[in-house]
Amino acid sequence: MADQKEQETSVFTEEVIKEVIFRVHRFSPDDGKPPRMQDYKVPVKRGMTVLDGLHYIRDNLDSTLSYRFSCRMAICGSCGMFINNLPRLACKTQILELEADTIEVKPLPNYEVIKDLVPDLSDFFEKHRSVMPYLIREEEEEKIDPPTNEFLQTPDELERFLQFAYCTKCGLCLAGCPTVATDKVFLGPMALAQAFRYNSDTRDQGFEKRLELLCVPEGPWRCHFAGSCSEVCPKGVDPALGVQLLKGQIVFTKLGLKKPHKIAPLATEKPEAKRRPGIPEAPPRTVKKE
Amino acid sequence: MANGTISKPENRLGIVGWFYAGSFSFERYAYILHRITGLGILLYFLLHIFGSSARISGQSSWESLMHFLGKPIFVAGEYLVFIAFCFHAMNGIRLILGELGFSIGKPGRPVYPYRISLNRQRPLLVVFMIIAVIFILLGGYDFFIAGH
Ligand code: SF4
Ligand code: FES
Q: How far is the CA of A132 from the centre of ligand 2 (A)?
A: 25
A231/B116 touch (CB, cutoff 8 Å), yes or no: yes
**What pTM did the predictor assign?**
0.89
Determine the residue among B102, B118, B122 to mutate to test chain A binding: the one whose Cβ has the most chain A Cβ atoms within 10 Å. Answer: B118
Residue B9 lies in a domain: no
Which superfamily does CATH assign the domain made up of A12-119 to?
Beta-grasp domain (3.10.20.30)
Residues of B in contact with A86 (CB under 8 A): 22-23
B27 pLDDT exceeds 80? Answer: yes
A103 pLDDT exceeds 50? Answer: yes
DSSP for chain B, written as a single string: -GGG--PPP----TTHHHH-SSS--HHHHHHHHHHHHHHHHHHHHHHHHHHHGGGGG-HHHHHHHHHHHTSHHHHHHHHHHHHHHHHHHHHHHHHHHHHTTSSS-------SSP--HHHHHHHHHHHHHHHHHHHHHHHHHIIIIIT-
Residue B81 lies in a domain: yes
The answer to whether the complex's ipTM is over 0.95 is no
Q: Hey, is the C-beta of A239 within 8 angstroms of any chain B C-beta?
A: no
**Of B12, B112, B118, which is closest to A227 when you measure between CB atoms?**
B118
Out of A4-8, A28-32, A244-248, A252-256, which region has the weakest mean confidence (pLDDT)?
A4-8
Position B64 scores a pLDDT of 87
Q: Ligand 2 pocket, A91 CB below 6 A?
A: yes
Position B66 scores a pLDDT of 86
Could you read off the pLDDT of B103-122 as tens digits, one per residue?
Answer: 999 999 999 899 999 999 99
B62 pLDDT exceeds 50? Answer: yes
Residue B5 lies in a domain: no
Residue with the larger pLDDT of the pair A265 and A22: A22
Position B148 scores a pLDDT of 64
Could you read off the pLDDT of A21-67 as tens digits, one per residue?
Answer: 999 999 999 888 999 999 999 999 999 999 999 999 999 999 999 99
A146 pLDDT exceeds 90? Answer: no
Position A288 scores a pLDDT of 76
Q: For residue B92, give its domain range.
A: 24-146
Residue with the larger pLDDT of the pair A284 and A211: A211
Question: What is the mean pLDDT of the segment spanning B123-147?
Answer: 94
**Of A87, A111, A244, which is closest to B11 when you measure between CB atoms?**
A111
Percent of chain A with pLDDT over 90: 79
List all residues whose CB is within 6 A of at least one atom of ligand 1: A 77, 167-173, 189-190, 193, 233, 235, 237, 239
Out of A7-11, A42-46, A174-178, B34-38, which region has the weakest mean confidence (pLDDT)?
A7-11
Residues of B in contact with A231 (CB under 8 A): 24-25, 116, 118
Position A269 scores a pLDDT of 81
B1 pLDDT exceeds 70? Answer: no
Residue B94 lies in a domain: yes
Residue B123 lies in a domain: yes
Question: What is the mean pLDDT of the segment spanning B16-28?
Answer: 85
Query: How far is residue A227 from each of residues A164, A167, B56, B92, B95, measured CA to CA in Å?
Result: 15, 16, 47, 15, 11
Q: Of ligand 1's atoms, which has the minimum distance to the CA of residue A239?
A: 1
Q: How far is the CA of A231 from the centre of ligand 1 (A)?
A: 10
Closest Cα partner for A95 from A185, A21, A152?
A21
Q: Hey, is the C-beta of A184 within 8 angstroms of any chain B C-beta?
A: yes
Neighbours of B94 (CB within 10 A): 24
Residue B3 lies in a domain: no
A133 pLDDT exceeds 90? Answer: yes
Question: What is the mean pLDDT of the segment spanning A122-139?
Answer: 95
Residues of chain A with CATH 1.10.1060.10: 122-254
Could you read off the pLDDT of A151-162 as tens digits, one per residue?
Answer: 999 999 999 999
Question: What is the mean pLDDT of the segment spanning B16-37?
Answer: 89
For A122-254, give the CATH class.
mainly alpha
Q: How far is the CA of A173 from the centre of ligand 1 (A)?
A: 5
Could you say which ligand is closest to the alpha carbon of residue A79?
2
Distance between A12 CA and the closest CA of chain B, angstroms: 23
CATH of the domain at B47: 1.20.1300.10
A225/B8 touch (CB, cutoff 8 Å), yes or no: no
Question: What is the mean pLDDT of the segment spanning A154-171?
Answer: 97
Residue B19 lies in a domain: no
Residues of A in contact with B101 (CB under 8 A): 244-245, 247-249
Chain A residue closest in CA terms to B100: A248
Residues of A in contact with B34 (CB under 8 A): 224
B3 pLDDT exceeds 60? Answer: no
A32/B4 touch (CB, cutoff 8 Å), yes or no: yes
Residue B30 lies in a domain: yes
A107 pLDDT exceeds 80? Answer: yes
Percent of chain B with pLDDT over 70: 95
b/e map A218-252, b = 16+ CB within 10 Å: bbbebbbbbbbbbbbbbbbbbbbbbbbbbbbbbee
Distance between B134 CA and the closest CA of chain A, angstroms: 24
Position A13 scores a pLDDT of 66
| Residues B120/B102, Cβ–Cβ less than 8 Å | no
Q: Work out how many domains chain B is built from and give that number.
A: 1
Could you read off the pLDDT of A192-245 as tens digits, one per residue?
Answer: 999 999 999 999 999 999 999 999 999 999 999 999 999 999 999 999 999 999
Residues of chain A with CATH 3.10.20.30: 12-119
Chain B residue closest in CA terms to A26: B9
Q: Ligand 2 pocket, A78 CB below 6 A?
A: yes
pLDDT band at A1 (very low <50, low <70, confident <90, very high): very low
Could you read off the pLDDT of B79-94 as tens digits, one per residue?
Answer: 999 999 999 999 999 9
Question: What is the mean pLDDT of the segment spanning A130-136?
Answer: 95
